[in-house]
Amino acid sequence: MSIDLLIKHLQDPKNVILIAVAFQYLFFAVFLFSQRKARFISNNLFAAYMLFNGWVLVGWFLINFENIMQRYPYPILISENSIYFLIPPMFFLYVVSLTRKDFEFKKIHLVHMIPFLIDFIHLTVRYFSNSSVFISNLTNYQCFFSSGEQLVRDIILNIQFIGYLIASLYVIEMYRSRIRKIFSSIKKINLSWLKTVIICMLVIRSVDIANAYIFEQAGFTGSFLTFFLLISQYILAIIIIYKGPRQPVVFPEADGDLE
C-alpha cells in the first residue's frame, strides 16, 4: 500500500469518515478492555462489540487497495462477512450483563456464536475450494456472492440484528418491571437511557434497509445517508461508553429477584 495511493483514497470524504470512525471504535475497544474496575465483564462485552464494528469498517477501507486484496483475500472475506454475525450477540450480552450483578460469560452463551461459526466454516470451505475465482472477483470489485445469495445474506443479517435489539428491549423491560417491585425510586437504575439507545438503533437499521433497497434501487444517491447512519451509530456507541460504566450496580436483593 503506497503512500500516494493512501493519500488518494483519503481525499474521498467517505473514506476519511470510515477510517476515523473505525479508529475511534478500536481505540475505545482497547480502552474498555484495559479497565479492571467495576463492570469488568460488561466493559469487555461492549469492548468486543466496538472491536468487531471497527474490524468491519477497516475491512471496508482496505478493499480500496488491490494489492492488499491480492495478498490477504481470506481475512478480507471473513472481515466483510462473518464478523457481522458477532456484533448483535455481543451487544445483547452487554445489555444482559447490565441487568445482573453476578453475570458471567458461560458456555451456554456460546450458542450465540453459532451463526458466526456456520458462516465462517461455509466461507472458509468455499474460499479454499475456489480461491482463484474469489480473488479475481475481489480484485475486480465484484461480489463474491450472486445477487440472490447476497439478498439472502442481507435478510438473515437484518433479521439477526433486529431480533437481538428486540430481545435487548425485552430484557430491559423485564428488568424494569422487577425492580419496580423492590425500589420506590428507580429513575437512576431503570436503564431508560439504554432503552432509548436501542430504539434509536432500530430506527437507524430500518433507515439503512430503506436506503439499500428503496432509495438506491430508485436511483437516489445513498452516500450522504450512509455517512449519516454510520456517524449516528457511532454516536450511540459513545453514549453507551459514557453511561454504561456510570450505571449503578443492582443491589444483591434485587439481583436475586432478577434471575
- Specify the pLDDT at position 202: 87
- 156 is in which domain, residue-wise? 3-258
- Specify the pLDDT at position 149: 77
DSSP state of 103: -
Torsion of Cα atoms, 222 then 227 then 233 then 237, to 10°: 170
CA 101 to chain centre: 24
Residues in the chain, pLDDT under 70: 1-13, 37-39, 63-70, 72-73, 131-144, 146, 181-190, 212-226, 244-259
- Specify the pLDDT at position 228: 75
Q: Which residue is associated with the grid cell 444517491?
A: 221
- Specify the pLDDT at position 253: 40
- Specify the pLDDT at position 178: 75
- Specify the pLDDT at position 48: 92
Q: How many domains does the chain have?
A: 1
Torsion of Cα atoms, 233 then 234 then 238 then 241, to 10°: 80
Q: Of the candidates 178, 210, 207, which has an alpha carbon nearest to the alpha carbon of residue 191?
A: 178
